[in-house]
Structure 1
């Protein structure tokens, strides 16, 4: 009896698919949040610290930088714009206003919670712009 190699490879492929597909489907169904993130996209927010009683708004800026085709866009947000502020930072929120997953990524480069200054770098995805709401709270 002669067995054809293509027959064995197609049988192996079908067997693998019969095992893998139900496992993947079971994982997707058991984790509904993952499905939700895939369909609606995700924002890239950065929240450092937390607001406490007596905090006041120290800084607010809406960053809107247009896209550059086939390139990434970067933008630095600096608080305070001068040398140093007179209040200690207790909370920094950088909210991505693009909720479809195409927004940029915020990074804290220096300073932050417990300091009197902060430098936040915003980096876009390739061929996309930046749209963030940056707030700093402190006492």
Structure 2
């Protein structure tokens, strides 16, 4: 009975916290790849999972200062290919000068992402 209750709580937490299977693992906002001439930001994020916890990371571009050129392409790729990867949400878009990328793992899993921003 305790095991069934534990599994039910884990499933409920995943559902309530918005981590259902319908969330995308990758994020791609690149309307015209021919205009994505210069990669101005690249970062690899790899963090180990922790038992019964979510791993989160926020990436800001620009990290400091001001970006004067409009962003032409934002690519966030989940490199975990086993279905256990995390999820990416983005605050900002192509045409803007800044972007914040929020990465969140699945429960008990780690993060393994590649992030690239182009102008």
TM-score of the pair, normalised by structure 2 = 0.74
Aligned length: 95
Give 5+ residue unaligned stretches, structure 1: 1-42
Secondary structure (helix, strand or coil) at the match of 2:45 reads: strand
> Is it true that 1:113 corresponds to 2:104 in the alignment?
no
Secondary structure (helix, strand or coil) at the match of 2:116 reads: strand
Q: Could you tell me how far 1:111 is from its partner in structure 2?
A: 1.9
Give 5+ residue unaligned stretches, structure 2: 1-23
Q: Choose from 75, 85, 91 the match for 2:57.
A: 75
Give the match for residue 12 of structure 1. Answer: none
Q: Could you tell me how far 1:54 is from its partner in structure 2?
A: 6.3
Q: Could you tell me how far 1:125 is from its partner in structure 2?
A: 0.1
Give the match for residue 123 of structure 1. Answer: 104
Give the match for residue 5 of structure 2. Answer: none
Give the match for residue 19 of structure 2. Answer: none
User: What stretches of structure 1 move > 3 A for 4+ residues in a row?
Assistant: none
Mark the CA change 1:130 to 1:115 in structure 2 (over 3 Å): closer, same or farther. same
Between 1 and 2, higher relative CO (CA 8 Å, sep ≥ 6) is seen in 2
Q: Could you tell me how far 1:134 is from its partner in structure 2?
A: 0.2
Give the match for residue 10 of structure 2. Answer: none
Secondary structure (helix, strand or coil) at the match of 1:89 reads: coil
